[in-house]
């Protein structure tokens, strides 16, 4: 397929595809799916070999959020029966993080619900970062605390935060459909603050909220322009008790096409398989490893993932290897001090959170899909790990 040959050549040169090419990836048929995966896999292997970076989430404060993000089980007015607790103590968070590190995680992601941190919250998280780094040599720490105000990013960086996560989630044009308490521009500004403070930016999207193909391309192109080092791709987990509980728009095939499109647009960036992979990719998760070079190990913020040992077995069985702390994740040209030739470093010049709208284009898959009832059975609210007396899943 000429389209795929063109996209591979551009990806190997770090050149931005056209919007038409990105849309064409999402419009490919199921008959062409393995060709799409193989093509995007060539780009993935060029920049990341067969390495898979593991990340581990620690939910520092669960529920009770004043924001109204429609996708989120922790939102204002959510009736989802999730764990609710206030800030973990630094030693509690450090113990939770240690479980993930022991399971092979290279990065610990510290997440707290809320619009954004107070200065006291930044102090709490700073203490937690210190506790984690004292006990886990070489571990990366990413903070995800919501919208930042002036000076907070710098304080987190001084405390030892390596990265900051704040997802764009969906296109600017449709952002108001999923949230009214802040806007797309607020999110962009927080990512820029993190970058200006010297932290590695982590920003991604959520697919499956009723968006169109054009919306997906728009948000991925916006991410490319913003130039984060990490792009998590989440698939909506339709929690009962949230406005998007009935949004079951994804198939494994569509999820793979979305990941492939993201890889073509962001060829040399850490593309991370994030929340919802077990629910929507199901038995096709191993194929996604040919597209992404990073994933979350074990459980998520308010939902349970597959067993950590099963994640590790899946990676090994698919012929990939877990990336060690002695390995630099990003290609040399994206590392500070590395060389960056013409064509980009993801600058666009060459080219921790989740109303209903139209059903996505190309959403239907051939064959019979599992019923909504079967898929709902895959959504398990987290009842272990942080905030409980039970050991975490790592």
Plot region of 77 (φ>0 → left; ψ -120 to 50 → alpha; else → beta): left
Q: Is 109 annotated as a binding residue?
A: yes
Do 390 and 89 form a contact (C-beta atoms < 8 A)? no
Give the three-state DSSP class for 201.
Answer: strand
| Spatial CA neighbour of 167 closest among 374, 368, 352, 321 | 352
Using CA atoms of 273, 276, 278, 283 in order, give the dihedral in degrees to the nearest 10: -70
Q: In the chain, how many H helices and how many E strands?
A: 14, 10
Q: Is 345 annotated as a binding residue?
A: no
Do 273 and 295 form a contact (C-beta atoms < 8 A)? yes
DSSP 318-387: TT-EEPPTTS-SS-GGGSTT----TT-SS-STT-------PPPTT---SSPPPPHHHHHTT--B--SSTT
Do 182 and 147 form a contact (C-beta atoms < 8 A)? yes
Q: Is 72 annotated as a binding residue?
A: yes
Copy the structure tokens of residue 270: 């850490």
Q: Is 13 annotated as a binding residue?
A: no
Q: Is 144 annotated as a binding residue?
A: no
| Spatial CA neighbour of 349 closest among 10, 11, 13, 16 | 16
Cβ–Cβ contacts within 10 Å for residue 194, how many?
Answer: 28
Cα 128 from Cα 133, distance rounded (Å): 9
Do 305 and 298 form a contact (C-beta atoms < 8 A)? yes
Do 21 and 264 form a contact (C-beta atoms < 8 A)? yes
Cα 245 from Cα 119, distance rounded (Å): 34
Cα 391 from Cα 394, distance rounded (Å): 9
- Bind-site residues: 65, 69, 72, 109, 142, 202, 272
- Bind-site residues for [2Fe-2S] cluster: 109, 142, 202, 272
- Bind-site residues for [4Fe-4S] cluster: 65, 69, 72
């Amino acid at each position: 397929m000429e389209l795929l040959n063109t996209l591979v050549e551009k990806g190997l040169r770090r050149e931005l595809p056209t919007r038409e090419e990105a849309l064409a990836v999402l419009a490919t048929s199921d008959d062409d799916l393995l060709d799409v995966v193989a093509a995007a896999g060539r780009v993935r292997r060029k920049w990341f070999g067969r390495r898979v970076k593991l990340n581990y989430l620690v939910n520092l404060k669960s529920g009770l959020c004043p924001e109204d993000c429609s996708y989120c089980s922790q939102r204002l007015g959510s009736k989802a029966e999730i764990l609710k607790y206030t800030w973990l103590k630094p030693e509690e968070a450090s113990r939770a993080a240690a479980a993930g590190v022991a399971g092979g995680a290279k990065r610990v992601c510290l997440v707290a619900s809320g619009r954004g941190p107070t200065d006291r919250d930044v102090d709490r998280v700073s203490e937690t970062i210190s506790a984690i780094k004292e006990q886990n040599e070489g571990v990366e720490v990413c903070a995800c605390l919501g919208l930042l105000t002036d000076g907070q990013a710098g304080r987190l960086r001084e405390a030892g935060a390596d990265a900051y996560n704040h997802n764009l989630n969906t296109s600017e044009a449709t952002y108001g459909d999923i949230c009214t308490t802040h806007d797309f521009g607020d999110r962009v500004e927080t990512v820029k603050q993190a970058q200006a403070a010297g932290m590695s930016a982590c920003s991604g999207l959520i697919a499956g909220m009723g968006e169109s193909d054009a919306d997906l391309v728009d948000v991925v192109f916006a991410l490319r322009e913003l130039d984060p080092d990490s792009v998590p791709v989440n698939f909506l987990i339709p929690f009962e008790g949230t406005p998007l509980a009935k949004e079951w728009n994804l198939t494994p095939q569509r999820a793979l096409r979305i990941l492939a499109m993201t890889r073509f647009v962001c060829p040399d960036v850490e593309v991370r398989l994030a929340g919802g992979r077990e629910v929507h990719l199901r038995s096709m998760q191993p194929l996604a490893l040919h597209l992404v070079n990073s994933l979350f190990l074990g459980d998520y913020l308010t939902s349970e993932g597959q067993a950590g040992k099963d994640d590790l077995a899946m990676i090994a069985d698919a012929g990939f290897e877990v990336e060690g702390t002695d390995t630099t994740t990003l290609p040399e040209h994206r590392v500070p001090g590395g060389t960056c030739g013409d064509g980009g470093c993801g600058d666009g010049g060459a080219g921790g959170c989740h109303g209903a709208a139209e059903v996505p284009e190309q959403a239907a898959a051939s064959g019979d899909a599992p019923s909504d009832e079967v898929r709902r059975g895959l959504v398990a609210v987290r009842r272990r790990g942080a905030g409980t007396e039970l050991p975490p899943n790592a």
